[in-house]
Amino acid sequence: MTNAVTTIKVTGSQPAENYDVLVGHGLLGHVATYLGERVRRVLVIHPRALRTTGEAVREDLAAQGFESFTAEIPDAEEGKHLQVAGFCWQVLGQNDFTRSDAIVTVGGGAVTDLGGFVAATWLRGVKVIHIPTSLLGMVDAAVGGKTGINTAEGKNLVGAFHPPAAVIADLDALQTLPANELVTGMAESVKCGFIADPRILELIEEDVKDATNAESDRLREIVERSIQVKAEVVSADLKESGRREFLNYGHTLGHAIELAERYQWRHGAAVSIGMVFAAELSRTMGRIDDQLAERHKNILELMGLPTSYRNDRWSALLDGMRRDKKSRGDLLRFVVLDGLAKPAIQEVPDTAILFATYQEIAS
């Protein structure tokens, strides 16, 4: 197990868009460094399941001279609601948080999404540092500055772009992660492999058991490569006006599945099916060959991720996809592939094509 600290830079057109992503072991002591000298008050937002960790972070900050507070929110997607954001705003207001104070999030992707949104909206923007504790949070949600909450109509339809001051990916957190959480989080790394860095796919295919071992150097390399993919895309396109849309590979159907399942499914499981659908759509459109399409299904099933969904839910899924952020009016748009690591956008005006494609993956 490698003990060195890796620093991955995210850059942008403005100084506020530049930040470090630290990857390594035993990194929680770095939080105060990135808070800076002006911050006096810090709110630590954490889910109920991480109460002990959240309190430990608060106590560490208090020992270093910060006025520190905690806001405990519901676990997973249940925490990404307007009422929860309102509770956090209330805590900030009651404790006189100013624009020079900060928020620290501790948890998975749902916590970084919610906490980032609270930071983006309190006084029109305060500093936030993310400490992702899940694989999904480390390789995806915490990096990039996208924040959001869910509504009854869909996932992440309300949000803001708000880059963090730093992301601290302490790999020690993965050692206490349930095996299913680790595997479903890997779906986002697989996505990065197909759209940008095929070495990620090879690392998984060569030894899937080692790739999903929380203490392995192989998993660390997968994490670092995944973060590097996202950092490079985000640095070139913070507000999703171009290349950043490619990071949504598999997410159009994936988000629709999450909505149909009332967010009781893990994000990675839904995106896994979404990627198989996107690959099949790419094949249907003549963009990729059979081998690349089948590789999606093979690697995802190798990891134990789902690759098909119920045949009787098409109507609900189509309604969900129409609410996708990539849609333009009534026109559905999908991230597809023109080859390995060659993502593109495909407009699909005829939903009959989508239905026929779905039949190829439906169970």
251 annotated ligand-binding residue: yes
151 annotated ligand-binding residue: no
134 annotated ligand-binding residue: yes
List the catalytic residue out of 124, 209, 262, 328: 124
53 annotated ligand-binding residue: no
List the catalytic residue out of 244, 266, 283, 296: 244
184 annotated ligand-binding residue: no
Q: Are 128 and 115 in contact (CB under 8 A)?
A: yes
112 annotated ligand-binding residue: yes
Q: What is the DSSP string of 271-340?
A: HHHHHHHHHHHHHHTTSS-HHHHHHHHHHHHHTT----B-GGGHHHHHHHHHT-TT-BTTBEEEEEESST
List the catalytic residue out of 266, 267, 297, 333: 267
Q: Is 342 a catalytic residue?
A: no
Helix (H) or strand (E) holding 181: helix 179-195
List the catalytic residue out of 220, 248, 295, 297: 248
Q: Is 130 a catalytic residue?
A: no
86 annotated ligand-binding residue: no
| Contacts for 124 with CB less than 8 Å, ≥ 6 apart | 99
Q: Is 255 a catalytic residue?
A: yes
296 annotated ligand-binding residue: no
205 annotated ligand-binding residue: no
9 annotated ligand-binding residue: no
113 annotated ligand-binding residue: yes
25 annotated ligand-binding residue: no
d(CA 47, CA 137): 13
187 annotated ligand-binding residue: no
Tokens of 208: 């899937």
List the catalytic residue out of 30, 58, 181, 188: 188
Q: How many helices (H) and strands (E) does the chain have?
A: 14, 11
Q: Is 267 a catalytic residue?
A: yes
75 annotated ligand-binding residue: yes
d(CA 89, CA 346): 40
List the catalytic residue out of 251, 266, 296, 333: 251
Which amino acid belongs to residue 308? S
d(CA 231, CA 221): 15
The pairing of beta strand 154-161 with beta strand 146-151: antiparallel
Q: Is 244 a catalytic residue?
A: yes
List the catalytic residue out of 46, 58, 127, 255: 255
d(CA 202, CA 192): 12
Q: Are 337 and 279 in contact (CB under 8 A)?
A: yes
Q: Is 280 a catalytic residue?
A: no
C-alpha atoms less than 13 angstroms from C-alpha of 348 in its C-beta half-sphere? 26
d(CA 287, CA 344): 10
241 annotated ligand-binding residue: no
d(CA 158, CA 84): 14
170 annotated ligand-binding residue: no
121 annotated ligand-binding residue: no
Q: Is 245 a catalytic residue?
A: no
Q: What is the DSSP string of 211-261?
A: HT-TT-HHHHHHHHHHHHHHHHHHHH-TTSSSGGGGGGTTHHHHHHHHHHT
List the catalytic residue out of 220, 230, 283, 287: 230
133 annotated ligand-binding residue: yes
d(CA 176, CA 187): 19
Q: Is 37 a catalytic residue?
A: no
d(CA 28, CA 131): 8
**Residues in the annotated binding site for Zn(2+):** 188, 251, 267
Show which residues are catalytic: 124, 146, 188, 230, 240, 244, 248, 251, 255, 267
**Residues in the annotated binding site:** 75-80, 109-113, 133-134, 146, 155, 188, 251, 267
**Residues in the annotated binding site for NAD(+):** 75-80, 109-113, 133-134, 146, 155
